[in-house]
Amino acid sequence: MLDGGLQAWTAAGHPLSTDAPVIAEAPAMALAAGGAPVADKAAVDRLRRDPSAVILDARARERYEGQSEPVDARPGHIPGARSAPFAENLRAPSGPFRERDELERRFRDLGALEAATVVCYCGSGVTACHDLLALATLGRADAILYEGSWSDWARDEALPAAKGPDP
């Protein structure tokens, strides 16, 4: 992970190379099930009704509010979810993360630092990982990814969708 991306790396004077690396053979790595906690839509549907849980939507605010939906089956957000656009974790577009105290204030205001359970989602489960990383830097490495995200939820007409700025 390059905080600030490749631009920050080169601005700090670090080198880039197009040389093909020499890769030494390494011992086999034992893999086991597990890893980052994930949730499916049934779990998220239960958690959205739990007052001790916080669900964060990492998509742009206009998608959260249902003003725009360029990809998925229908617009809106999971009822009860709070808008937490991943881009607001950054000092500037494609820039480095905000200072720790700013991130802490942001996620505290969202209720994510005190919640018993935190779930993050986005459109497809990718940019939600940005919110998960920000939360992990604040000590919430237990936050859960709804990997199906809005694409999964929006396809299921039996599940409700909310629109507007409110959870």
Q: Which domains does the chain have, with CATH numbers?
A: 37-155 (3.40.250.10)
Among the listed residues 77, 68, 88, 69, the one whose alpha carbon sits nearest the alpha carbon of residue 121: 77
Supply the pLDDT for residue 90: 95
Residue 129: active-site member: no
Regions of the chain with pLDDT less than 70 = 29, 31, 33-34
Q: What are the tens digits of pLDDT across the range 38-74?
A: 999 999 999 999 999 999 999 999 999 999 999 999 9
Q: Which of 60, 110, 119, 122 is catalytic?
A: 122
Q: With beta carbons less than 8 A apart as the criterion, state whether 133 and 1 touch.
A: yes
What backbone torsions phi and psi does residue 153 show, to the nearest 5 degrees?
A: -65, -50
Supply the pLDDT for residue 29: 67
What pairing do the DSSP bridges indicate for beta strands 38-39 and 117-121? unpaired
Q: Cα–Cα distance between 131 and 56 in angstroms, integer?
A: 8
Supply the pLDDT for residue 31: 65
